[in-house]
Amino acid sequence: MKRLATLLASLAVALALTGCSSGGSSSDAPSDFTVTAGDASVTATWTAVDGVEYWIFYAQGENVTTSNWVSLNGRVLTKATSPQVITGLLNGTTYSFTINARKDGGPGGAGSPTVVATPRLSGNVWAPGPAIASEGLAGITAGNVPDGVANVAVAASGAIYLATNSGAYASQANPQAANGLNAVTYSSPGYVAAGGNGTVLQSVDGKAWTAATSNTAQALLGAAAAGFGNYILVGASGTIITSANGTDWTARDSGSTRHLRAVTYGGAQYLAVGDAGTILASANAAAWVAAPAVTTAGLRGVAHAALANTTSDGTVSITNVYVAVGEGGTLLTSNDGAAWTVRPALGSANLNAVIYGGQFVAVGDGGAIFTSPDGITWTARASGTTRNLTALVRSLTGYLVVGDGGASLISN
CA distance 22 to 1: 30
Strands across the sheet containing 389-394? 127-128, 408-411, 399-403, 389-394
Same domain, 57 and 168: no
pLDDT at 254 over 50: yes
Q: Are residues 182 and 297 in the same domain?
A: yes
**β 240-243/250-252 pair status:** antiparallel
Whether residues 273 and 214 fall in one domain? yes
Assess whether 111 and 150 both reside in one domain. Answer: no
Domain that holds residue 353: 127-411
Chain Cα centroid distance, residue 247: 23
**% residues pLDDT > 70 (the chain):** 94
User: Which residue, 82, 117, 152, sits at the end of a domain?
Assistant: 117
Q: Do both 194 and 92 map to the same domain? A: no
Number of domains in the chain: 2
> Going by C-beta distance under 8 Å and a sequence separation of 6 or more, which residues neighbour residue 182?
138, 139, 154, 156, 194, 195, 196, 219, 220, 221, 222
pLDDT score, position 120: 92
Question: Within this chain, do residues 246 and 360 fall inside the same structural domain, yes or no?
Answer: yes
| Whether residue 191 is found in the same domain as residue 93 | no
Same domain assignment for residues 284 and 236: yes
User: How many angstroms separate the CA atoms of 34 and 263, rounded?
Assistant: 39
How far from 348 is each of 20, 243, 273, 343, 376, CA to CA, in Å? Answer: 66, 37, 19, 13, 17
Cβ contact 147:167 at 8 Å: no
Q: Give the domain CATH number at 107.
A: 2.60.40.10
In a domain, 335, yes or no: yes
What three-state secondary structure class fits 237?
helix
pLDDT at position 143 is 93
- The pairing of beta strand 260-266 with beta strand 250-252: unpaired
In a domain, 122, yes or no: no
Q: Judge whether 79 lies within some domain.
A: yes
* Helix, strand, or coil (residue 118): coil
Which residue in 258, 279, 353 sits closest to 271, CA to CA?
279
Domain CATH code at residue 150: 2.130.10.10
Q: Provide the Cα torsion 207, 208, 214, 220; round to 10°.
A: 30
Note whether 280 and 371 are same-domain residues: yes
| Whether 324 and 194 share a structural domain | yes
In a domain, 324, yes or no: yes
Residue 97 shares a structural domain with residue 144: no
- Residue 7 has a pLDDT of 40
pLDDT tens string 357-412: 999 999 999 999 999 999 999 999 999 999 999 999 998 889 999 999 998 999 98
> Do 7 and 59 share a domain, yes or no?
yes
If pLDDT is split at 50, 70 and 90, which confidence band does 8 have?
Answer: very low
**10 secondary structure, DSSP code:** H
- Cβ-Cβ contacts under 8 Å for 81 (sequence gap 6 or more): 48, 54
